[in-house]
Amino acid sequence: MTEEIKAIKVRPLPKSETRKHIIVVRVQHNFGVLTRITSLFAGRGYNIESLTVGKTHEPNVARITIVVEGNERVVEQIIKQLRKLIETLRVRDITDVPHIERELVLIKVHAGEDKARDEIMRLVSIFRAKVVDVSVDTYTIEVTGDSEKIEAFIKLLRPFGIKDIARTGVLALTRESAKESLQEHRLE
């Protein structure tokens, strides 16, 4: 029995799952803050999958949405390091919080033949996208949605020949229902 207990104690803990995390950072909108944040990631060997920055409704405050791949330990370290920056006002990992996630993508696709054009327009309709530019042999399409929708749309357009893609990166906001639920839980 003692040997079994020793064996259990020595057995390494399973590694936590590596997955995509969405980290939202509110910062003072000062010169160089973005450089300090990206340097923090680079200096520790973390790869940023997506990064979006924009002003908020508050004067001199910016919202940064960072998508990073990692396990819970890595993400905790990232959040701790972000909180140490002077300009940081708030940091949250909203991965497991109900949220709305969107990305905007512009895709320039080859559309030379009438049959190809018809099929592309059918896909545009199905994905609620829109054609924003047309030339003799290309369509430029705008599509918004979550990452799964975007990836599915790109996959279906690949056989036509994608000429170029521009992506904004992920934007995310927590749902109000999540905030209300959290407040109710705190009151209990």
Residue 131 has pLDDT above 50, yes or no: yes
pLDDT band at 166 (very low <50, low <70, confident <90, very high): very high
Residues 79 and 46 both lie in one domain: yes
Strand ranges for the chain from DSSP E: 19-28, 48-55, 61-70, 88-93, 99-110, 130-134, 138-145, 162-167, 171-174
Encode pLDDT of 24-58 as tens digits: 999 999 999 999 999 888 887 888 999 999 999 99
Residues 59 and 146 both lie in one domain: no
pTM value is 0.78
Residues 124 and 150 both lie in one domain: yes
Identity (one letter) of the amino acid at 77? Answer: Q
- The enclosing domain of 32 has a CATH number of 3.30.70.260
Identity (one letter) of the amino acid at 81? Answer: Q
- Contacts of 128 by beta carbon, 8 Å cutoff, 6+ apart: 143
Q: Which domain holds residue 149?
A: 100-172
Picking from 78, 104, 105, the residue whose alpha carbon sits closest to that of residue 24 is 78
Identity (one letter) of the amino acid at 170? Answer: V
Quote the number of domains for the chain. 2
Average pLDDT over residues 97-113: 94
Q: Which residues of 38-48 are buried (b: 16+ CB within 10 A; e: fewer)?
A: eeebeeeebeb
In a domain, 118, yes or no: yes
Residue 188 has pLDDT above 80, yes or no: no
In a domain, 37, yes or no: yes
The torsion of the CA quartet 55, 57, 60, 62, rounded to 10 degrees, works out to -40
Residue 2 has pLDDT above 70, yes or no: no
